[in-house]
A and B are shown apart, each in its own frame.
Chain A
């Protein structure tokens, strides 16, 4: 039988990588669990509240998006819109070229991965440096992040030391502290030389006209401290009604992502520099990117737009832990990626229609989600859509015979009764190699097919 692509990837995955992904994910899950449990008597109530906040926001996006635009403009920011990934890339390079910018520093942003911004900027001759340590290593290796929050969870210190040596950042040294110091020195010059800083945004408060940006390393702060132009790429779904909602969302984001009460740096960007506040970038551009999001909003999977990109569902997922992020063949891995990636693929949905099947539907992703996204339900809806659109479905067992049996009461009754013959078959002697290891330690219960129906019939008579 053909195998699912995710399964195949997991089987061929390097053992060391698999071990690293598994232990790092498990540690993330443990940390989240103990912090939330220690801080809240009813963390699930808080998750449900956050879910309602986000659901309300996306279901009123028509109002909030326009409000956010007005608030941001009032603060002196330029607001742009981009329908597709290509439009978004072009919007960025247009702004940079108009300003004569040649060098750019970038803070980690999933949407810039989604639109392949670095490739585009490279193609128009603009140097773009990822400043998050993990993302920088991804960039110099020509690799892709394999986790939303921990992009190089699949690499070890020796891999990184070799990459740094190759890039001329010093002799081979795999001490994590040395690696980090070298990145600090290297980035320092990049920040100071850069013409522009590019960031994403974790939230946009519509009423306050603020972008909210969280990092632990402080790299986004540097991108907004040294360069004179700030460009923020923001998915349209990031908008929330006001600052008040942040009390709930920020408290859940840090704890869910890394087990921290708050991420180290939480930045509230309210506009470009002013004459009385000259420190920041003089120009601020916000690019609201659709890239299939409005179509997701129109679909029956709109709940996925609540996502705040904490990565908790990746950490807890048995399939992610076994297969790692690259198994998902897309920017967003794990349970959230299994829903989001096929939807973001738009016309190419079928190419990723196998992802929703890479799940045991155990529901752990929903239980840890800070915004209570019913991921298993969405996976089922997408499986259904894949079936309706005749997407290829390797690894699905043929259900034809069972379907026939189950749809005819007479055949079903007959099968139930006649299978009693199974009790007489010496299973351990059957020439079925797949079955034998199992049968060595277990026995099948006695076949009692049909007894329930008989019991029901008797009961009805009474």
Chain B
């Protein structure tokens, strides 16, 4: 393999050597790609809610209305990680509650709560990391996923979030439910991932 490496790197060097000058690295401000409407949005939390709803992510600001929504959705089994006892007792009124997520129950659990590592107001995006969501499948396989977003961790812009990436093998930005328009351009939600994406802002 090292020979392939040498071969490619030397062809790249040879390709670039004759260039009389190379394009310098452009200097641009952090807000270069911010949408023009962003400046008028003073409150990042309100902006996050607005943008999230626009991409199809439901936002809840209290546990009761979130639980009521799950009840209205006819959820059977919900995964709620250990410390959220009040939420668990509310959900236990209408469905099975489990605090363990295993491979064996991937198709059984149809709703899951996992803590987010943050959010982005500009785009209504939820940020998940391996630290916050210890099993990637828990946030992906159930039809309903509810991310627990802490107000203090909402970044204002995409650029802000990019400059504050935590040390983690994997980060995923979730902007709305899983989608496809492959069949005749018709939008369908819930292809592989959640068909109903939500967040509970705490």
Contacts and interface: CB of A to CB of B under 8 A. Distances in A.
Contacts of B65: none
B33 A248 contact: yes
Interface string A409-420: 000000000000
Contact of A59 (B5, B16, B171, B173): B16
B22 A262 contact: no
B32 A247 contact: yes
Contacts of B134: 277-279
Interface residues of A, number: 97
A157 B180 contact: no
A49 B136 contact: no
A278 B171 CA distance: 14
A273 B129 CA distance: 12
B137 A183 contact: no
A379 B184 CA distance: 31
A34 interface: no
B48 to A, nearest CB: 13
A258 interface: yes
Interface in A259-311: 260-274, 276-280, 288, 290, 294-295, 297-298, 302
Interface in B32-46: 32-33, 35-37
A266 B175 contact: yes
Contact of B179 (A59, A183, A252, A264): A264
Given A133-B182, A222-B140, A222-B193, A295 B11 contact: yes
Given A40-B35, A60-B22, A188-B106, A81 B8 contact: yes
Nearest to B31: A247
B13 interface: yes
Contact of A298 (B1, B11, B28, B135): B11
A276 B174 CA distance: 23
A329 B184 CA distance: 23
Nearest to A266: B173
Contacts of A243: 162-163, 165
B68 interface: no
A49 B22 contact: no
Given A217-B180, A243-B165, A176 B11 contact: no
A181 B180 CA distance: 11
A268 B168 CA distance: 9
A340 interface: no
B15 A297 contact: yes
Pick from A20, A216, A272 the residue with the most CB of B within 10 Å. A216
Contacts of A183: 191
B83 interface: no
Interface in B64-99: none
Interface stretch (A50-58, A318-326, A331-339): A50-58
Contacts of A271: 169
Contact of A267 (B13, B28, B172, B181): B172
Contacts of B35: 39-40, 261
Interface in A163-182: 176-177, 179-181
A29 interface: no
Pick from A65, A151, A191, A279 the residue with the most CB of B within 10 Å. A279
Contacts of B167: 270
A27 B185 contact: yes
Interface of A: 20, 24, 27, 39-41, 46, 49, 52-53, 55-56, 59-62, 65-66, 75, 80-83, 87, 91, 131-134, 137, 150-153, 156-157, 160, 176-177, 179-181, 183-184, 187-188, 191-192, 208, 210, 216-219, 221-222, 224-226, 236, 241, 243-244, 246-248, 250-252, 258, 260-274, 276-280, 288, 290, 294-295, 297-298, 302
9 contacts: A39-B36, A56-B22, A65-B9, A179-B183, A184-B192, A216-B181, A217-B179, A279-B130, A295-B15
Given A131-B192, A279-B133, 13 more contacts: A53-B25, A181-B190, A217-B192, A236-B8, A244-B163, A247-B32, A258-B181, A262-B123, A264-B55, A266-B175, A268-B165, A270-B167, A274-B169
